[in-house]
Amino acid sequence: MVTVHRPRTRGRPARNAHPAARESLLDATVALFAEKGVAATTAAEIAVRAGVTPALVHYYFHPRERLLDAVVDERLSRFVAHAVRALPAFPVPASALIEALVDGVFDAARRMPWMPPIWIREIVSGGGLLRGRMIGHLPVHVIAALQAALADGKRRGTVAHDIDPAFAFLSIAGATLFPLATRSLWAHFPGGGALSAARLRRHAHAVLSGGLTGPAPPARTSR
């Protein structure tokens, strides 16, 4: 039996010819998305940052929607998984869960520093181009566990009665991802100085432990 070898299409790279190219392209993409945003990033810029030809970008990620899907499924979701990987077993007091979440987010941001600016620009912003794709990757089970822990704390009197468990996850994201994404701006304000990740982490722990799980204040009397 004679085996016929079909010639490859001219100009098209062989599949798996560049085993690390796809990973390099994704790394370059998230870095540029963090710096410039999704809409302002071109395929040519991604190729230059990754050290490959634009044809390789087209080969792996055409149409552009394939690139956005891969960024969310293979990079942004990795950040979420890392941030929640070391949480204590449920059920757990809200204070322990919040402490572990804060540490998880900061550790994930140290390894993947592109996520905080992408989170602010492309996910929580009204016109964010990755918001719809990211919804399915949010840690719904963790959010539910956090709400349940806070609701239990309110019943026991260890969580302030005015705390709304539904907004707790937003508070944690606001105290961690937002300052990490904007610290270059706040460094210009009085007291900003060197806003290191360690300094921001300590502040987030203090704000969240006191605000979400601090001692419940006495009920206010209406006038």
Task: Judge if 56 and 119 occupy the same domain.
Answer: no
- Cα–Cα distance for residue pair 118/142, rounded to 1 Å: 21
Task: Judge if 95 and 134 occupy the same domain.
Answer: yes
Task: Judge if 111 and 162 occupy the same domain.
Answer: yes
Task: Judge if 57 and 155 occupy the same domain.
Answer: no
Residues in Cβ contact with 103 at an 8 Å cutoff, skipping those fewer than 6 apart: 86, 201
CATH of the domain at 46: 1.10.10.60
Task: Judge if 89 and 31 occupy the same domain.
Answer: no
Range of the domain at 160: 77-211
Q: How far from 191 is each of 11, 44, 175, 186, 206, CA to CA, in Å? A: 56, 40, 17, 9, 17
Residue 169: the pLDDT is 95
Task: Judge if 91 and 181 occupy the same domain.
Answer: yes
CATH of the domain at 158: 1.10.357.10
Task: Judge if 205 and 126 occupy the same domain.
Answer: yes
Give pLDDT tens digits along the chain (223 positions): 444 444 343 445 545 556 689 999 999 999 999 999 999 999 999 999 999 999 999 999 999 999 999 999 999 999 999 999 999 988 889 999 999 999 999 999 999 999 999 999 999 999 999 999 999 999 999 999 999 999 999 999 889 889 999 999 999 999 999 999 998 888 778 876 778 999 999 999 999 987 787 655 555 454 4
Task: Judge if 90 and 44 occupy the same domain.
Answer: no
Task: Judge if 166 and 192 occupy the same domain.
Answer: yes
- Domain count along the chain: 2
Task: Judge if 94 and 24 occupy the same domain.
Answer: no
